[in-house]
Amino acid sequence: MTEPTASSHPVADRLSHWAYLRYRANRDVGGALAWFRDRWRQSLLFKLIAAAIGLALVLWIALFVWLASDLPEADTLLTYETPLPTVVRGINGDIVHSYARERRVQLQYADFPDLLIEAYLSAEDKTFFSHGGIDFFGTAGAVVDYLNPARTKRAVGGSTITQQVAKNLLLGDEYSVTRKLKEMILAGRIEQVLTKQEILELYLNEIPLGRRSFGVQAAARAYFDKDVDDLALHEAAFLAILPKAPERYGRNGQEDAAMERRNFVLGQMQENGFITASERSAAAAQPLSLVTQRRERSVDAGYFLEEVRRELIDRFGETAEAGPNSVYAGGLWVRTSLDPDMQAAARDALREGLLRYHGGRAWAGPIATIDVSEGNWASQLQSSPLGISYKDWRIGVVISRSGSSARVGFADGQDAPLSGLPSALKAGDVIAVNPSGNGWQVRTIPQAQGALVVESAQTGRIVAMQGGFDHRLSDFNRATQALRQPGSTIKPFVYAAGLDSGMTPSTQVDNNRFCYYQGANLGEKCIRGTGSGGQYPMRYGLEQSQNIMTVQIGMTAGMPNVVKGIERLGIGKFPAYPSTALGAGETTLVKMVAAYSALANHGRLNPPTVIDYVQDRRGKVLWRADNRDCRGCNMAQWDGQQMPRFGVRGTQAMDARTAFQVMHMLRGAVSRGTATVLNPLNLPLFGKTGTTTGPKDVWFIGGTQQMIAGAYVGFDQPRNMGGYAFGGTIAAPIIKSLIEKTKPKWSDLPAVAPAGVRMVRVDRRSGKRVFDGWPTDDPRSAVIWEAFKPDTEPERYTRQDAIAAKRNEIMALIRAGRQSAESAVIDTPEPETIEFAEPVAVD
């Protein structure tokens, strides 16, 4: 009997098309069920086969449900963000460093050259653009290899690029059958939510390729020190072999295996039509040419960059678990105030100063020691963080010594003869050396340390920071972490308190002696000054760093007022003792430089900063140091009013006129005072030297109205530096060297006075006003310009004043001769503390 058609069957004529389909389905399913029941009743074999198939189906469904139950959602890849390092830029926008524990660079699909994509497709998945996530033939081959009892190593993977994305980003690298099944399930899901281009972009950005590199751009830099668009054919083919064995093919001794695999990939590229036979032959003839050491885009500014890293971690966290903008995974872009040229000059100037102070002293001992008896000294040295970047110096380890001969070994496994052997030198000592003849010579790392900071006075931006001889030898940042006595560098703020209390730069101050009542038990303590006694204008006391005059001014102004002013400037909380006026408290170099910047900035204090602003990976500003508002800056169109401007930065920490007066007096300290070593630079420099009791620390802080630099030198465990150590002979020459190396960056414009300052001609010795003379370029000129607040100008200088001044000078010489034989506490030309019994409260 023939089957009726849809057009001739009487039922079909009356029913719709869908009704007819339901009719056919019910009839066919019913027929199939009837056939199955008949077979089930009649055949035992059929029952067994059907039961086995059903059981297998149930188990497969159960297995699928079990495997898929805890799988991550493929949709998460739509918002997946590659863990990226933080990139740091300097003051001019150039990249100076990156914070990375893995080498990663994220590119977009369009950034990958076709040649590189073709190499990876030929090596890993030539059917990538045609399959649905799984290569069944490749998977079958992997299963056969896995079940092979003769297999001696890990089975071939058979994974597609999509499966590798699932493994790398969602599953991990567990070696098991279940992981492989999960990988296949996820691959199918990924193909449903991402395009082929998006999958390939993820793969090429995330694939681990050895040498701590993830992604092809990072690997291109690690193996060839090139960007991906600069790779030659043979180089692209080499990168394509790395997914199979990322930690093998780039090692020494594996060149033959790498060449064989690379040439296989080149052959596959030809077979797939991506390159010609001649191109394949030419590329196969090329050597591997792998770089052993890539050029790092990082300036030698370890102390500065570590300060940046600490601030970023405090603000955004260290790892991905801390949030989306972490330092080591968030892909931050950080603009800093680091000036690479100024930093290099600061580093070299400080090192030269430390070596100059160390002079001909004996060898200071090893940097560290390691055990060389087992012969693995090279690996020990390589794994240590020790290093040095000074001139042609290197860090090495003494691997043997016999009498006057020795050999030094380096982290690369090389060794050479060693000369200039100190008697205490022994095998295992880690030392600094430099080339000498056919070998190397022992060099000494100075025991004395120090720091140098350069800051923009108008903004507080630190442009250079060197916290020791070399951060690879010691990461303790002496610019920000070392608490030291500031010595005479604190005196300008004592004089500022005196000016605020009504004194002027011409106020006469006694320089003979200072007496202080210390209580019923100790009675009165008197200290005599050094040099010429008698009365001198305030300027003389600051220029020549006179202790007696400084304490007199501090006590006249009130020590509570002095320490309040010091605290307002961010230097620290000091006790109101007379010795505080001479620098007996503790602070850091960076705080002192910021305070001197306030002097140059008309009394406005800007917190010192090393970071200007931070952006996320898409460029959105997350944080900035300068948070001033600019009202009207983003107007859609001009409203005809004056151009909108930012407000004034910083906090007014002291009177602007007082700040200028102090700065103007400190100009004299450079011209004819304790810092004359800087005078030949012919710049409008001001500043102050400092030498603490001992002396244990020597300082200089100063600069121009635009830029302030500060340096100190001392031992980490404070001890006597020698009676010849002064701020003017050790610290100030360091700043001189810095400025000489960066002279174009220092302004030669004279300082600008704030409103309310009057410049008056005065006699330098008496401080009185003159009308019949003019200042000259001679630092010793009798007539100088002095800065006064309104209505505080001194009286006119007369002939009688000159006679009285000469008489006082003669009497001072007579008194000095009488006192020379007396036993008294005498200051050096620049001592910084007076031996008061402490604690003594000053009201």
Cβ–Cβ under 8 Å, residues 266 and 274: no
Among 196, 236, 281, which Cα is nearest to 112's? Answer: 236
Neighbour count for residue 352 (Cβ, 10 Å): 16
Among 306, 376, 377, 374, which Cα is nearest to 336's? Answer: 306
Cβ–Cβ under 8 Å, residues 584 and 833: yes
The number of CA neighbours under 13 Å toward the Cβ of 478 is 25
Q: Considering the candidates 326, 456, 488, 597, report the single residue annotated as catalytic.
A: 488
Among 831, 830, 808, 762, which Cα is nearest to 539's? Answer: 762
Told to judge if 124 belongs to the known catalytic residues of this protein, a careful annotator would answer: yes
Residue 355 — φ and ψ, nearest 5°? -65, -35
| C-alpha distances in Å from residue 257, one per residue of 156, 263, 282 | 17, 10, 19
DSSP string, 64-89: HHHHHHTPPPGGGGGS----BPEEEE
Residue 153, classified by CB atoms within 10 Å of its CB into exposed (0-12), middle (13-18) or buried (19+), is exposed
Among 295, 289, 298, 299, which Cα is nearest to 225's? Answer: 295
Beta pairing class for 415-419 and 462-466: unpaired
Q: Which residue has the tokens 């040498």?
A: 211
Alpha-helical runs (H) found in 575-620: 589-600
Residue 139 — φ and ψ, nearest 5°? -65, -40
Cβ–Cβ under 8 Å, residues 241 and 261: yes
DSSP state of 741: H
Residue 721 — φ and ψ, nearest 5°? -90, -5
Cis peptide before 695 (omega within 30 of 0): yes
Residue 169 — φ and ψ, nearest 5°? -100, -25
d(CA 378, CA 33): 78
d(CA 514, CA 301): 46
Residue 646, classified by CB atoms within 10 Å of its CB into exposed (0-12), middle (13-18) or buried (19+), is exposed
Q: Considering the candidates 118, 122, 124, 543, report the single residue annotated as catalytic.
A: 124
d(CA 312, CA 48): 69
Q: Which residues pair with 514 in a beta bridge?
A: 527
d(CA 59, CA 528): 101
Helix or strand run (H / E) with residue 524: strand 524-528
Neighbour count for residue 211 (Cβ, 10 Å): 18
Cis peptide before 744 (omega within 30 of 0): no
For residue 329, give every residue at least 6 positions away whose Cβ sits within 8 Å of its Cβ, in sequence order, or none: 83, 84, 319, 320
Please give the positions annotated as active site.
124, 488
